[in-house]
Structure 1
Amino acid sequence: MENFRSNVRKPTMSLQIAVEKVRWLAAGLLELNGCDADIAQDVAEHMIEAERYGFASHGVTLLPKYLENIARGDVTANARPECLTSEGNLQRFHAHNGFGQHAGKVAVNAAIEQAKRRGFCLLTLCHAHHLGRMGHYGQMVADQGLAMLAMSNVTGRPALVAPWGGAEPRMTTNPFCFAWPFSDGRPPILVDFATSSMALNKARVMSSTGKQAAPGQLIDAQGNPSNDPGVLFSNPPGALLPFGEHKGFGLALMIEMMAGILSGGDTIAEDHQTDGSAHNHLFALIIDPDQFTDLAGEKGQFFADYLLATQPQPGGNPVIYPGMPEAANRERNAKMITIPVSFWSWVVEHYARKGIDLGLHPQESALAG
C-alpha cells in the first residue's frame, strides 16, 4: 500500500540498529498509544520485515504518521477484525478501522487454513487502516506452500493517479501481488507492485532528495507532463500516471472493482475526502497448487530454472525472478537495519514525552544495539 507518507524529513545521517531493539521499541510505542500488545507486535513485525526486505517506505518511519492517526481517531488502535462469513471456500472480514497489518494477518491466516483444507479460498477484507506491504502477505502464503493473487484499493484519501488520457487524479496506486512457492529452498516468486508509474512513497523520497522522475510518470496540476515528483505534493496537486499507459489503467480499474466492491468496502469515487486517513480493502485468492495437479511443484521449479538460464544482455547482470533480490536483502539485514538519525531522535523524544527515559542519547542508544 502506497498511500501513507512518513513524517520523517530527509535524513542527514543514518544508523545501523539491532533489529530486535527496533522491534521492541516500535511495539512499545504502539502500546503506549493504545494498542493491545498482540496488535502492537503484529504492526511492529510487519514494519521490521519491510525494512529487512528493503522497503523502508513501509517500515518504521511510518510510526509518527500512525501515532498521529491514532490521536486523530483515523485508526482505532485496539480494533480487531470480525469474520463476517466463513463458509466453504469463502472468508469475509471487516477490520472495523483497525490496523491493517493485524487485520491482514488474521484474515490471511484464516484463508490459508481454508485453502489447505479445500484447495483454494477467496478472501475479502474491508475497512482496514493501512495494510502495509502486500508482499508481506504473499510471503506468509508462500511460506505455507501456497500461491496467492491479491489486490487492494485505497479510499479515504485524495485520488493520486490520473486515468489514462485524463488530466486530473481519479484513482489511487492500487497494488497487486502474486506469490508462488518453491519446495527446494529457493525464494518464492513474489511480485508486488503499484499500478501507477511509481509508488507514492517512492515519489516522496525522490522529492525529498531532489531527484527527477522519468518521462511519462507524472503530470502537473494542469495536466502537463512533468519530471518533478514535487508536483504530487503541491496545492493543487498533480498526478501519477498509470504504468504501461492503458494497460496499467485497465489493471488498476479491475483492482478498484474487485477489492473495493466485492470486499464490501468502497471505491475511491465514494470515499475520497481530503482530511481523512487511507483505508484499504482487499481481495485475494489463495491456492494450494498441489491440490490442482501432482506436478505443480516440479513444473514451477522447472520453469524458474528455465528463466534463470536466460542469456543476459551484453554487459548485463544475470536474469533473476521477482523475490530473489528481496530475499537477499532480508538475509543481509537479519540482525541490523538502517534508519535515519532523525527518526531515532523522534523515538527517544516520544518515549520521553510519555515519561520514559531510555537512558541514552539517540546515537549512543542506537550504537549500543
Structure 2
Amino acid sequence: MNSTSSRYDASALVHYAAQLLQRAGLAEAMARTVADTLVQGDLLGHDTHGLALLAGYVKELEAGAMKRDGMPIVISDRPAAVLWDGQRLPGPWLVHQGLDLLLPRARELGTASLVIRRSHHIACLAAYLLRALEEDMLLVLACSDPNTASVAPFGGTQAVFTPNPLALGFPIADGGVMVDISASITTNGMSNRKRQAGETFEHEVLIDARGRPSKDPAVLFEQPPGTLLPVGGQTHGHKGYGLALLVESLTGGLAGHGRADPPEGWGATVYLTLHDLHAFGGKAAFLRQMDHVATQCRTNPPADAARPVRLPGERGLQGRAEQLAEGVRLAPSIAPSLQAAEQRYGLKLADALR
C-alpha cells in the first residue's frame, strides 16, 4: 500500500466521513454505518475500497443515484432464505442490516442466506468478515455489479463480468481467516488508481480489445475497450472464469435480477450466507480442524525465508490493530479526491489528523 506519512485517528475519520455523507443528504444512521465500513477497509489495508470511495459516494448521493433513506423491499422470506430489493440504498448499510437479520436465523437454523438485488456499491468485503469472527460464524459473501462489465470470459475479448469479489471469513483460536478475492487478477479500483498516477502493472493482467496482453490500465479506456484478465491469466484463466460464473449464479441468478435487465448505474447484487459453527460439528471441533490447518500453513517451509507463509487476512488484522493504536495511513490520492466535496460542505479531512 502506497500511503502518506500522515496518521489519522480512526474514530475521527469515521466522524468526518459520516458528516460528509450526511451533508450530502444521507440519513444519519446510514451515514455512520457507511463511514465506519469505509474506514474499516483502510484499516484492513484495502485502500482502494475504503475512503477512496467516499468522493464517489457523495457524488452518487448528490445525483440521486444512491437513495438517501428508506428500507429494502422484502420480495421473499423463508426461514433460511431471504430476497430483498435494496432500492439503491447504500450497500454497506444494506449488508450490515442483512447480517443483523441472518445472525439469529443462523443460530436457530444452522444456516441462513440473503440475496440483495439493486443495492448500491458495498465497498470492502473484508470489512464484513469481522462480524463472522466476532459471532462464531462462517460467512460467505459475494457480489457482482450487473450495471457494468470489465472482465472478459476466458478466451474472449469483450467484457461480460465485473471482478466479482468473493469473500470468506471464520474464526480460529488466535484470530481469524479472512479471504477477500475476486474472479479477476486485479480490480477496477486499482486499475483506475494506476491510470490516474500514470503507472502500469508489474505483470500483464489486462488484454486490449484484440486480445493482446498488456500491463497498461489505459487499455480499459480505449475504444473499443480492453478488459481485465480472469484469475489464471492467459494460460489458466478458466479458473477465474469459473469463479466469475459462480458469483453470477449466487448473485444475479438467485436474485432473479442482473445482466439480463436494464442497467441502473453503479451498484451491486449481493449474496450472504452465515453458517453457525455450533450447528454442525461444534465450535471446538471446527477450531481443532482449522487451527491444525492454520499451523500447517504458517509453519510451511517458505520458498523465500524473508517471506514466511501467512494466512489470508493475517496481515490485514495485524495492520488494523497497529493503525487503531498508532493512526491510519491513507493513500495519497484520497485527500485530493475529497477537496471539492469538502469545499461544498465545509469539512476538512485534516481535522482527523492525530
Query: For residues 214-252 of structure 1, what are the alpha-carbon distances to aligned partners after superposition, in whole Å with 9 as ceiling and x for unaligned?
Result: 444211133222121121133432100111111110110
Query: For residues 324-351 of structure 1, what are the alpha-carbon distances to aligned partners after superposition, in whole Å with 9 as ceiling and x for unaligned?
Result: 1110110111052123566446656534
Q: Is the 8 A contact 2:167 2:180 kept in 1?
A: yes
Q: Is the 8 A contact 1:91 1:111 kept in 2?
A: no
SS at 1:305 equivalent: helix
Residues 1:14 and 1:75: Cα distance change in structure 2 (over 3 Å): farther
**What is residue 32 of structure 1 aligned with on the other side?**
23
Q: Is the 8 A contact 1:81 1:106 kept in 2?
A: no
Determine whether 1:121 maps to 2:112: yes
Letter in 2 for 1:286: L
Determine whether 1:91 maps to 2:79: no
**What is residue 82 of structure 1 aligned with on the other side?**
73
Residues 1:61 and 1:293: Cα distance change in structure 2 (over 3 Å): same
Letter in 2 for 1:97: R
TM (normalized to structure 2)? 0.90
**What is residue 42 of structure 2 aligned with on the other side?**
51
Residues 1:254 and 1:350: Cα distance change in structure 2 (over 3 Å): closer
Residues 1:343 and 1:164: Cα distance change in structure 2 (over 3 Å): closer
Query: For residues 298-325 of structure 1, what are the alpha-carbon distances to aligned partners after superposition, in whole Å with 9 as ceiling and x for unaligned?
Result: 2222221222221112434221110111
Determine whether 1:109 maps to 2:97: no
**What is residue 161 of structure 2 aligned with on the other side?**
171
Q: Is the 8 A contact 1:163 1:170 kept in 2?
A: yes
Q: Is the 8 A contact 2:133 2:175 kept in 1?
A: no
Q: Is the 8 A contact 1:81 1:94 kept in 2?
A: yes
**What is residue 353 of structure 1 aligned with on the other side?**
344
Identity %: 24
**Structure 2, gaps ≥5 residues long:** none
Residues 1:117 and 1:235: Cα distance change in structure 2 (over 3 Å): same
Residues 140-179 of structure 1 mapped to structure 2, 5 A cutoff:
140-157=131-148, 159-179=149-169
**Structure 1, gaps ≥5 residues long:** 1-10
Determine whether 1:332 maps to 2:322: yes
CA distance in 1: counterparts of 2:13 and 2:147, whole angstroms: 30
**What is residue 208 of structure 1 aligned with on the other side?**
196
SS at 1:188 equivalent: strand
CA distance in 1: counterparts of 2:201 and 2:335, whole angstroms: 29
Aligned equivalent of 2:122, options 123, 127, 131 = 131
Query: Number of paired residues?
Result: 346
SS at 1:20 equivalent: helix
Q: Is the 8 A contact 2:3 2:330 kept in 1?
A: no
CA distance in 1: counterparts of 2:230 and 2:56, whole angstroms: 26
Q: Is the 8 A contact 2:55 2:341 kept in 1?
A: no
CA distance in 1: counterparts of 2:154 and 2:300, whole angstroms: 34
CA distance in 2: counterparts of 1:167 and 1:115, whole angstroms: 42
Residues 1:228 and 1:342: Cα distance change in structure 2 (over 3 Å): closer
Residues 173-192 of structure 1 mapped to structure 2, 5 A cutoff:
173-182=163-172, 184=173, 186-192=174-180
TM (normalized to structure 1)? 0.86
CA distance in 1: counterparts of 2:83 and 2:340, whole angstroms: 40
Deviates more, 1:126-135 or 1:281-290: 281-290
* Aligned-residue offset at 1:263: 1.9
CA distance in 2: counterparts of 1:288 and 1:339, whole angstroms: 35
